[in-house]
Amino acid sequence: MEPQVEFWKKIYTQYTTKQAVIHHTKNLNIIYDVIDFGDRPLSNRGRERIMSRAKRKYRKILRRLARLERRKKLDPTRLKSEEKRVYDLVQNNFRSASRRIRAQIGQKDRFGEGLVRSGLYMDQIE
């Protein structure tokens, strides 16, 4: 339970809505990447496109690792740097991990705005 709590704490305190965390859906200790959308205005569709591209990238790496492992040809010393980084993160069950990739938009700025707004109503809440 603690890794899940830590993951969501990061989503609400560290990452803003201008960032997306690409992660394993079950093992929240595995964060593949953090995408920074920058200050350019993006539609939801534009952000989805960027996140989909990142998820495809990691799905492709994980499937390659699974294929090499299945053929008994997985040698970590011969992997490209990004493949090695993903290998070190996941360590096993690469095929399964390739089906468990998602993106989560950060919430730090929205959460902060909500705290400020809630302060206006604290007298009525109490």
Q: Which residues contact 17 (CB under 8 A, 6 or more apart)?
A: 105, 106, 107, 108, 109, 110
Which residues, listed in sequence order, are joined to residue 27 by a DSSP beta bridge? none
Q: Find, among 111, 114, 118, 58, the residue nearest to 86 by Cα.
A: 58
> b/e string for 42-52 if b means 16 or more Cβ within 10 A?
eeeeebeeebe
Per-residue model confidence (pLDDT) at position 40 = 83
pTM equals 0.86
Per-residue model confidence (pLDDT) at position 124 = 65
Strands 31-36 and 101-105: unpaired
d(CA 31, CA 38): 20
Name residue, tokens 């390739």.
98
> Per-domain residue ranges for the chain?
2-125
Per-residue model confidence (pLDDT) at position 89 = 97
d(CA 59, CA 94): 9
Q: Is the dihedral of CA 125, 16, 83, 88 positive or negative?
A: negative
Under DSSP, is residue 47 helix (H, G, I), strand (E, B) or coil? helix
Which stretches in the chain have pLDDT values below 50?
A: none
